[in-house]
């Protein structure tokens, strides 16, 4: 999915592992384990957090703002946005993808039909690696109807 080490999973909101289905948390873990994301989350378009990695602190204001930026992408360039109480400068915002940066760290967020896939990266990861991981996970979720 997000890299050559990842394998496809079936997704279900709040699902467990019975019947071969994985929870949203499994996708977050997969993104984080890829090495391309320091932290990851899947956020509903209403701003509710479906799953997130344990080290990622997201306020409801941050998640709501993030989801709303996809409806009005030019606002990201005007005001930036916050992730984990860190102000990001938008370097891409086009209605599907939102990339932000602060110093040597940053994030990629991609909108699917029902959610936003978010991955952050640290100094030791190239921004393109992170963007590929997040974009590929979003594409997979879109293919699954999410």
What is the chain's pLDDT, residue by residue, as a tens digit (146 residues)? 444 434 344 444 444 333 344 589 999 999 999 999 999 999 999 999 999 999 999 999 999 999 999 999 999 999 999 999 999 999 999 999 999 999 999 999 999 999 999 999 999 999 999 999 999 999 999 999 99
CB 5 within 8 A of CB 136: no
**Angle CA(61)–CA(67)–CA(70) in degrees, nearest 5?**
140
The reported pTM is: 0.87
- Strands 81-83, 10-11: pairing is unpaired
Contact 127, 100 (CB under 8 A): no
Which of 101, 97, 92, 93 lies closest to 133 in space, CA to CA? 97
């Amino acid at each position: 999915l997000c890299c050559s080490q990842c394998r496809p999973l079936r997704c279900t909101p709040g699902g467990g592992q019975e019947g071969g289905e994985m929870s949203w948390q499994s996708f977050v873990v997969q993104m984080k384990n890829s090495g391309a994301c320091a932290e990851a989350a899947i956020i509903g378009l209403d701003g509710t957090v479906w799953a997130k990695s344990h080290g990622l602190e997201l306020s409801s204001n941050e998640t709501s703002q993030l989801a709303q930026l996809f409806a009005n992408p030019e606002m990201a360039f005007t005001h930036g946005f916050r992730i984990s109480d860190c102000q990001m400068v938008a370097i891409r915002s086009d209605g599907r993808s939102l990339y932000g940066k602060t110093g040597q760290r940053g994030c990629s967020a991609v909108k699917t039909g029902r959610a936003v896939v978010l991955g952050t990266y640290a100094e030791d990861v190239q921004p393109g690696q992170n963007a590929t991981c997040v974009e590929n996970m979003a594409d997979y979720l879109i293919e699954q109807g999410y």
